[in-house]
Amino acid sequence: MEELLGRSEVLLSAVPKNEDSSMMTDRTLLVNALTYAGALPFAAMLLAVLLGVNNLPLLGSPTKVSLIYGAVIASFLAGSHWGIFIAFGDKIGSAVAIISNCAAILIWISVLIFPDVLSLSVLALVFAGLLLVDFKLAKAAAITQSYLTLRIRITSLVVLLLIGHVWAL
């Protein structure tokens, strides 16, 4: 138990406990700003597709840009689940580790071999699936309720943007 508490202290050390509220607000604002800024490439690529742009200089197809960017972001989320599993494995179970690895591999295979419409759909499903994992993590107190709320909002936005992109193709 002491080992688990020690690991959780490392993960939770980034969360201020008795610091003044302005420090907490600054950190929360930064996290929210970076999180929502992460949705901008999805929105920009959807807009490009809606405007009929087939090729972006230096980047290529807006759909491929969304797929590659989405693969990176989803893998980042899966990696954060892996890190949480390492710290809280006894508390949350091995399914989180397995799902995080399967999600990354599924996205990679999807981007490599599936048609774009199917890959975008798989990506949207993976984002939704990773959010379901976050519900389990919140229930186990491995992530905070405020982080779960942020994840619900950003995942909903990203999934809608990806569905819009599929629809626009």
On the question of pLDDT at 29 being above 90, the answer is: yes
The pLDDT of residue 64 is 97
Cβ atoms 145, 30 nearer than 8 A:
no
Taking residue 90's Cβ as centre, other Cβ atoms within 10 Å add up to 11
CA quadruple 119, 59, 70, 49: dihedral positive or negative? Answer: negative
| 143: DSSP letter | S
On the question of pLDDT at 13 being above 90, the answer is: no
List, as one string, the DSSP characters of 11-69: HHTTS-SSS-HHHHHHHHHHHHHHHHHTTHHHHHHHHHHHTT---BTTTB-HHHHHHHH
Looking at residues 40-44, what average pLDDT do you find? 98
Q: What's the pLDDT tens digit per position in 43-63? A: 999 999 999 999 999 999 999
Distance separating the N- and C-terminal Cα atoms of the chain: 52
Q: What percent of the chain has pLDDT over 90?
A: 82
The pLDDT of residue 117 is 97
Q: What's the pLDDT tens digit per position in 110-159? A: 999 999 999 999 999 999 999 999 999 999 999 999 999 999 999 999 99
Cα separation values, 4 from 12, 26, 44, 86, 138, Å: 12, 29, 42, 10, 17
Looking at residues 71-97, what average pLDDT do you find? 95
Give, for 93, the enclosing helix (H) or strand (E). Answer: none
Instruction: Write down the pTM of the prediction.
Output: 0.85
**Cα angle, residue 103 at apex, residues 75 and 50 outer, rounded to 5°:** 70
